Structure 1
């Protein structure tokens, strides 16, 4: 992509922030160019946000039905998935999946709940229930 072809239409999902992209300048060198984003970026971002919203609402329904713990809801509400939650919390994925079981989640010690709450940026009390 040439420097003049970098999208600058603006992307409302970026909140006015700029993004770094790489393009060829007039001399054929690869240079970093600031971009405001474009239509394609916006469409993909909105599609991803819709999917995250659907996953969050599905988790909310499972929590209400007693099929999963509020941890799964909060994971999606914070725009995380299982591998990301494992990485930032320091727990193995298989262990987090066990914590999705309501009976196990109810017996978790405070220090584990606090680690999850810190990752989510919420209190332990909020973590234990739906908003």
Structure 2
């Protein structure tokens, strides 16, 4: 793509203040590659907005499931950090089936302090935030 063809459609992502921009490689008039900043394409920005809205909705649903006692707080923080069970298992150093068990509230309540600290560390929160979730 030539430098003058670089898209500069303004972002429409929720909460975006248009200060973040992508760096793309373009060719200058001589055909040499150089980097240039782009605000992106309108279609791309719209698709990203839809994707983030879907993710936010899924996180909100999981929060309600935690409140109603269907799943443990680990499920909420896992989604909030854009993780799935295999990724979370690799970060906490547990088998996938073990992490899946920890998503059950009855099992979560019995976790030892060391395991809770591992999860909290991965989610970059305190053990209190993890165990006292959801806050009233």
Q: What is the TM-score normalised by the length of structure 2?
A: 0.78
Residues 21-100 of structure 1: pairs in structure 2 closer than 5 A:
21-100=24-103
> Structure 2: which 5+ residue stretches go unaligned?
none
Alpha carbon RMSD of aligned pairs, Å? 2.3
CA contact (8 A) 1:21 1:34 kept: yes
CA contact (8 A) 1:11 1:41 kept: no
Q: Which structure shows the bigger proportion of residues in helix conformation?
A: 1
> Structure 1: which 5+ residue stretches go unaligned?
none
CA contact (8 A) 1:8 1:35 kept: yes
8 and 92 in structure 1: CA distance in 2 versus 1, 3 angstrom threshold: farther
Is 1:130 aligned with 2:128?
no
Point out the more displaced range, 36-45 or 65-74: 36-45
How far 1:43 moved relative to its partner? 1.3
1:11 corresponds in structure 2 to 11
Point out the more displaced range, 55-64 or 79-88: 79-88
**1:20-45, CA deviations, whole angstroms, 9 ceiling, x for partnerless residues?**
11233333344322212332332122
Q: Partners in 2 of 1:40 and 1:83 — Cα distance?
A: 31
Q: How many residue pairs get matched? A: 131
44 and 121 in structure 1: CA distance in 2 versus 1, 3 angstrom threshold: same
Q: What is the TM-score normalised by the length of structure 1?
A: 0.81
